[in-house]
Chains A and B, each alone.
Chain A
Amino acid sequence: DVKVTQSSRYLVKRTGEKVFLECVQDMDHENMFWYRQDPGLGLRLIYFSYDVKMKEKGDIPEGYSVSREKKERFSLILESASTNQTSMYLCASSFLGQGYETQYFGPGTRLLVL
């Protein structure tokens, strides 16, 4: 069965802290994605990666960075957390290539920055 896991379901951090959100998939997918989801705004793409050590900016990359050292793992990093980064963060993965666009999502991490 397809599985995408995220390191935490709930996280509370203070302003200025460095925050790591981890995502692991066991499907040998090339693509991995990080989204944030806010009420009324839907899902917005932060970063995605189509291969190890490769990354591409999405629609809202400011204030975030990512790391993909292994194929199965994609980390989202908030270098200095701010209150406007309080949100639900969703990781997803998919195969690379046309016809394989179905994305598989993790359960989400709800981050609160105080």
Chain B
Amino acid sequence: SQQGEEDPQALSIQEGENATMNCSYKTSINNLQWYRQNSGRGLVHLILIRSNEREKHSGRLRVTLDTSKKSSSLLITASRAADTASYFCATSPYGGSQGNLIFGKGTKLSVKP
């Protein structure tokens, strides 16, 4: 049961530019997380934002959450070639089985040097 939908599906930018990815979801959530996946590897947790938070920062990452619109965005500032990866949002549904996450299909980011 897919809940998160990322947009765009693919994004290509130049090094130094900012990259913005969006995620929409359908039901109430406890929190929303963003993960990164390098080609052919496992996912790595980037950042978690709780349902009562609106914005969170971690290094060059900025995440916003709008629960009224059921959407989130991930901004990567001053992108680098090493940021090339797929990015997934994952939601922890309110009232769902503890620990279960529902992943979106991901945004494939390509940062050209």
Contact = CB atoms under 8 A, between A and B. Distances in A.
Interface size bracket, B side:
20 to 34
Contacts of A45: 100
B12 to A, nearest CB: 18
B37 to A, nearest CB: 8
B99 A90 contact: no
B59 interface: no
A21 B30 CA distance: 31
A32 to B, nearest CB: 9
Interface in A83-99: 88, 90, 92, 94-98
Contact of A108 (B2, B40, B105): B40
B85 interface: no
Contact of B98 (A90, A98, A106): A98
A41 interface: yes
Given A56-B97, A94-B99, A100-B99, A42 B88 contact: yes
Contacts of B2: 42
Interface in B72-88: 88
B42 interface: yes
B42 A50 contact: no
B1 interface: yes
A101 B98 CA distance: 8
Contacts of A40: 105
Interface of A: 4, 30-31, 35, 40-43, 45, 48, 50, 56, 59, 88, 90, 92, 94-98, 100-108, 110
Given A31-B98, A94-B99, A103-B90, 9 more contacts: A42-B2, A42-B105, A45-B100, A50-B99, A59-B1, A88-B40, A97-B98, A103-B43, A107-B41
